[in-house]
Amino acid sequence: MARLLLFTQLNFNRPEIAVNHEVSAARQTRRGQQAPLNLSPVAALVAGLFVLGAGSVHAADPTIQELQQEVARLKAELAARDKAAAEAGAAGVPATQSAAAPEAAPEVEAPGGKAQELEKVVVRSRPKLARVADVPQSISVISGKELEGHLALDIGAISQRSASLTRNVGNSRTASLSMRGIGKITQTEAQDVSVGAIVDGVSIVYPPFLSFDFYDVDTVEVAKGPQGNFQGKNFTIGSVSINTRNPSFTPDASWSIALGQNQTVISQVAGGGPVIDDLLAWRGALLVEKGNGPYTNGYNSDNSFFNRDRVSGRIKLLFTPTDDFSALASVEIQPNGAEFYNAGTVKISPPAQYVNTGRATEGGPLDISTKLGRDWFTRQYNGKNFYDNGFLNNPNPNVNQQQPLYTYTNNGSLQLKKNFENFDVTSISAVRKYHFGASNDSEGTPFAVQLNGGGKVDEYRQFSQEFRLSSKPGGKLDWQTGLYYWRNQVLFGQQSLNAGWGQDAGAWFAEVPQYNTLNTDSAGRQLLTDSLNGMGKSSAQKIRNTAKSIFGQLDWHVTELFTLTTGARLTHENRTNETSSLIVNNGVGGALNPVVKSGVQLGGFDSNATTGVLDTNTPAQTALADQVAQRYFGVSSYSLLSDPQRRQVAAAKAIRNTQIGPIWNATNGREFKKTYPGFSISPSYKFNPDQTGYLAVQYGQKGGVSQVINGVPVLAEPEKATSVELGLKSALFDKSLTLNASVFNTGIRNYQQTVNDNSNPNGTPITFVGNAPKVNIHGLEFDGAYSGIRNLTARFSGAYTIAKYKSFPNAPVPAEYDPNGVKSRDVSGQTLPGASRYSLNFGAEYRVPVFKQLAAHGSFNSSFISGYFSDANLSAYSWIPKHWTTDASVGLGRLDQKFDVSLIVKNLFDDDTPQNQTLSTYVPAIPRWIGIQFSGKM
């Protein structure tokens, strides 16, 4: 039995560069011209000749001998090219290169002889991680094939395949990314992220764009440290680049259908080819993912939490009228989907005492048992206290007012590329749009308490335009420079309520004395009902941000072994935010409003907050008070009410006033307008063709945050990050092992984080997005891939990270602190929320030919993360213990990939570690899921 295993190394370029190289090669080959040297076609050729024989194989057989000679010749040619590439690349990777690359050539069946059939084998490209060897920066690369094999479609699944990347749990609007322990914060629409993304060359600063599925993916790159000197938007901690497959003039098509637990159906179709040879090519992709969630709503079992309701389609067109010009247009639509996420929490008993004062929590905001024990609620629940009969420890919560989250996104981009003799010009124009609507049952009961709660992003719209000039690679100086323009507009809460109250809200929010005052007779109970019933509030924002940047990066190949990479960026930003918080629906209790609050006229009447005795009022206000007396007590004048009756009115008005909360008319936040720099210096030295060391010094900023809190304009200062990284990238054991490792130290000044300010002029502390003065992160990382065992490929990564506040004296207190006590605390020296000390990832695939025409395969991916605090305010009750999560797949398919069937298991060992935890709730883990996927190529 003769078995051959060949590995090829592909070159890598920025996505648009790769497209043009493919186009140019394809056009020139078709026209009888000699294509420029490009290792990608060579890899495809070798893949087509990768052969494994079954049964006895005789070298004397002419056909087999010819194949063996051809394979040997190609191996020698590849070795020579590897050596030449290493010598030429000793000076460093040109500034125009990155880790993105076309997918490896498809597996093909080798020809067989009549007397004896050759055993079929697969030629595999060298792991994509090997292609980042000369980039002086810590970068992890994940292949789209690996993601497809485990149905890893969302950003959470992607993050489980990179040790330094974490998805912070939340819904479409509130989830975010962390890297190296940074990024677990309360996100606002007015704020840019520290860890950004680049999707098909378009920068993403708004995390909700990453809440949708990613399909037909070519590669994912995770770059650490400040970004922005090479392209796109600037990020202070790192970025995730997701590259989907581009059109080609070679026809191809693939499909897959997965059926699984919870009535899950996941269907994907992708393909394309030439529309007009050498002129116009297309690629389309479609994803449908539908399925119930693992937990149901006890109030309505047709609704389930963490369900999937996703449909997405994308079309790309590649236009190549000449050899030196190309245009790539892309349009993607993900229509409105309805998914239940909010309220999918398990309620647990809170502590009996506040940790800082020792005062009992009974009767306070944490005491839900007392609220649900009131006869108002037991009468509606068969005489039982719902707290002990369905509220606590129930993964299938009974909530009557919870609605699904509605989200959609539409995206479009146009990339133009013109090649000149000595440089290339690239233009990327893009628009993105997002909508989010939540209507939450915020208290989590089957009673009509809170309605229509949650954020309402009526429309988030982003536009960006980028121009880049890049040199031809291979000279003494390789460079790229560009201009970048970005703007967004967010309309938040303009078209609907984001807080509402029902007929049971008064009984729920009444303090014990208020409840006892009102729950004595029919008039008091009616006041209790009407105090909040039907009231609706809208907190609106109009956010407008713009950024204009110039950037550049230069690779100076000082010698064949030593390269100095430098980059710089200058960004000017202008950020504004107009907000308001108003009652837009008075409901049935509008007469119980105060006259005015925070300068907002509410149309009520003035009375003593305790006794209910009328204060000075206008005739119209007095008449309104008389209407209240007539409605609830049947007397013609408020002056005829008894003292107990007036106290009942006062109690109802106090309940209402508390829930009205801070309100203000349209107010402009403090404008952020500033120009700030970024830079990088990265010397690298090639010790030998297979080992490169580098030092990266990077500095970056992100803009401030314009906001209005409780009617007070406030401003968060820009976040400033300085990172130093020392790394070594190696290819060992005849390049079968790729191992990259680095140590890093990042200091952040003015880390944007929720803070508490006690200097408010009216004496009430306010909590808002401000700045933690100093944060430090340091540690080590490694990333590798191994392909030295026949039929087996493996990748692994790990990180040891210490992320701490060096100075944060005014952090908000967590929920276990007495609300009547201090509002802030000093957490200097403590570990940041979401920052685990250790993280590991390991994945492998084994594929072997069987039964001559088939290949059996199995793969898994395991992700480990050590314990961390999941609460942004570092609640002691938010500890998430260390845990492993493993996905696995086994299958059987044809060698030519025309058909394959796989059994896929997510969360193989059914890890039940909570996703998120507070002192009174936790988000349960997604349990083990089993499905079967049928797939193939056409």
Q: Is residue 145 part of a domain?
A: no
**Distance between CA atoms of residues 923 and 915, nearest Å:** 5
Alpha carbon distance 230, 223 (integer Å): 12
**Predicted pLDDT at 185:** 72
Q: Is 749 part of any domain?
A: no
Domain total for the chain?
1
CA–CA dist 242, 201 (Å, integer): 8
Angle between helices 619-633 and 522-530 (to 10 degrees): 130
The whole-model pTM stands at 0.85
Report if residue 474 sits inside a domain. Answer: no
Residues 6+ away with beta carbon under 8 Å from 425 = 417, 418, 467, 468, 469
Burial of 792 (0-12, 13-18, 19+ CB in 10 A): middle
List, for residues 391-417, the tens digit of each pLDDT value: 999 999 999 999 999 999 999 999 999
* Contact in structure between 690 and 735 (CB atoms under 8 Å): yes
- Give the span between the Cα atoms of 440 and 772, in whole angstroms: 31
Q: What is the DSSP string of 456-468?
A: EEEEEEEEEEEEE
Work out the angle between the directed axes of helices 522-530 and 643-660 (0-180°, nearest 10). Answer: 20
Structural domain harbouring 41: 1-126
Please, how many CA atoms are within 13 Å of residue 163, restricted to the half-sphere of its CB?
25
Say what the pLDDT of residue 184 is: 79
Q: Is residue 508 part of a domain?
A: no
* Cβ pair 143, 128 in contact under 8 A: yes
**Is 65 a member of any domain?**
yes
Helix (H, G, I), strand (E, B) or coil at 74: helix
Alpha helices (runs of H) in 614-700, residue ranges in sequence order: 619-633, 643-660
* DSSP code of residue 425: E
CB-based contact 622:665 (threshold 8 Å): no
Distance CA 81, CA 103 (A): 20
CA distances from 792 to 160, 402, 787 (A): 21, 48, 6
Residue 340 lies in a domain: no
The answer to whether residue 713 sits within a structural domain is: no
Q: Which residues of the chain have pLDDT under 70?
A: 1-131, 758-765
Structural domain contains residue 34 = yes
